[in-house]
A and B are shown apart, each in its own frame.
Chain A
Amino acid sequence: MSPLARVALVVVVLGLATALGALWRARNGRFSPVAPAVLAAAGADPAHDETTTARLTTSDIDAALGSRATFVQLSSEVCTPCRRTHAVLAAIAAERNDVSHVDLDVATHLDLVRRFDVMRTPTILLLDGRGAVVGRMSGATDRRQALDALDAGCPVIA
């Protein structure tokens, strides 16, 4: 390989890494809502199969549901953004008595990991007051993103 080709290789690898990093950064904390039709089906038929309606109960998450919303955070121990996200969500839950937050270790909750096809940590499932999963986020999530998700996924009915 000629010296010029080696320099070109370095430039290409760095360009690729930059593109990857930009994609990764844009994805972090972005809220993806569950399709409204799916949610409507879940509400219309309470006896609907639990796995298709994606409803979580207190026993699934070892915690009580918030009356408006619950952030179910799935974390791993080798994960710094998990700690930061934990602090953000815990603060939001502490300020509002209708929102709760639970942080679960993926290693001990593989059932949830498989059921919701969780690929990275942290992943946050947003549940409404009934425990239905209304959307999710993954990666480092800041306060603004979490509050926007709350308003989009669990609007307060006036």
Chain B
Amino acid sequence: MSSSSLHAAAGVAPIAPSPAAESPVRTGSAAGSPPAARAGSSAVSGSAGIDPRGPRFVAALTAVLTVVALLLGTGSAALVVLAVLAASFGLGVVRGVTGTWQSRLFRRFVRPRLAPPDELEDPRPPRFAQLVGLVISGLGVLLGLLGVGPAIPVAAALVLVASFLNAAFGLCLGCELYLLGVRLRAARANA
């Protein structure tokens, strides 16, 4: 129930339940059902799946923009670049990562040159990552507008680390942070 409140806050419409996450899936000899064993992957490769290289390309462009922001320092030019980043993350949160301008570039210019992907990815994890990016860059823009100049490069550096890890290593920020959030909320509910 805590996960549904998280998604309500993120504006993520509930998508078809995925066996891996929404309900326990038993596989192997105990359940003796190979179809159930494949249910997890079929949920991923369903029509809702996206090319996993898309979000990584989006992250790479995001990383380039944060480098530009860092090189511009603490002035209004850096603030504008960070605001553009925040707006892009906003698009990614509202429409999913495939709704961003970076993803459009990927589909238009990059994917036609690539072989078809081996596997498709669930669109929710990258969307969660977009939300994390929106919060960090949004705070940077807000503090920058309030005159706290150093907040701009700090926010840009944080977004750079996250987007670089995503682009270069395929690190899924949602997987690393989501559980901590669930634990914190549960601890607070018990307190």
Interface residues of A (CB under 8 A from B): 1, 3, 6-7, 9-10, 13-14, 16-18, 20-21, 24-25, 62-66, 70, 75-84, 86-87, 89-94, 96-107, 110, 113-114, 118-122, 139
Q: 6 nearest interchain CB pairs?
A: A93-B28, A77-B21, A90-B37, A100-B28, A64-B30, A78-B174
Beyond A7-B71, A24-B171, A94-B37, whether A103 also contacts B25 by CB under 8 A is: yes
Docked-complex contact A13 and B160, CB < 8 angstroms: yes
Which residues of chain B come closer than 8 Å to A77, judged between CB atoms?
Answer: 3, 18, 20-22, 124
Let me know if B186 is at the binding interface, CB within 8 A.
yes
Interchain CB contact (< 8 A) of A105 among B22, B30, B38, B74:
B22
Let me know if B48 is at the binding interface, CB within 8 A.
no
Docked-complex contact A80 and B22, CB < 8 angstroms: no
Interface residues of B (CB under 8 A from A): 1-3, 18-31, 34, 36-38, 40-41, 43-44, 52, 67, 70-74, 119, 121-122, 124-125, 128, 153, 157, 160-161, 164-165, 168-169, 171-172, 174-176, 178-180, 182-183, 186
Pairs A–B under 8 Å by Cβ, sample size 21 = A1-B73, A7-B71, A63-B24, A64-B26, A64-B30, A65-B30, A76-B179, A76-B182, A78-B128, A82-B175, A83-B20, A93-B27, A96-B28, A96-B29, A99-B28, A101-B27, A103-B25, A105-B24, A106-B179, A120-B176, A121-B179
Which residues of chain A come closer than 8 Å to B44, judged between CB atoms?
Answer: 80, 83
Docked-complex contact A79 and B172, CB < 8 angstroms: yes
CB distance from A16 to the nearest CB of B (A): 7
Closest to B150 in A: A1
Q: How far is the CA of A100 from the CA of B37 in the complex (A)?
A: 11
Docked-complex contact B125 and A110, CB < 8 angstroms: no
Which residues of chain B come closer than 8 Å to A80, judged between CB atoms?
Answer: 44, 52, 121-122, 125, 172, 175
Docked-complex contact B24 and A103, CB < 8 angstroms: yes
CB distance from A6 to the nearest CB of B (A): 5
Q: How far is the CA of A82 from the CA of B20 in the complex (A)?
A: 8
CB distance from B59 to the nearest CB of A (A): 12
Number of A-B contacts (CB under 8 A): 183
Interchain CB contact (< 8 A) of B175 among A7, A14, A21, A120:
A120
Q: How far is the CA of A121 from the CA of B72 in the complex (A)?
A: 37
Which residues of chain A come closer than 8 Å to B30, judged between CB atoms?
Answer: 63-66, 70, 100, 102
Which residues of chain B come closer than 8 Å to A79, judged between CB atoms?
Answer: 21, 125, 172, 174-175, 178
CB distance from A147 to the nearest CB of B (A): 14
Docked-complex contact A17 and B160, CB < 8 angstroms: yes
Docked-complex contact A110 and B27, CB < 8 angstroms: no
Which residues of chain A come closer than 8 Å to B28, judged between CB atoms?
Answer: 66, 90, 92-94, 96, 99-101
Q: How far is the CA of A91 from the CA of B27 in the complex (A)?
A: 9
Docked-complex contact B171 and A21, CB < 8 angstroms: yes
Beyond A20-B161, A77-B18, A83-B41, whether A94 also contacts B27 by CB under 8 A is: yes
Which residues of chain A come closer than 8 Å to B178, judged between CB atoms?
Answer: 76, 78-79, 121
Of the listed residues B25, B67, B168, the one surrounded by the most CB atoms of chain A closer than 10 A to its CB is B25
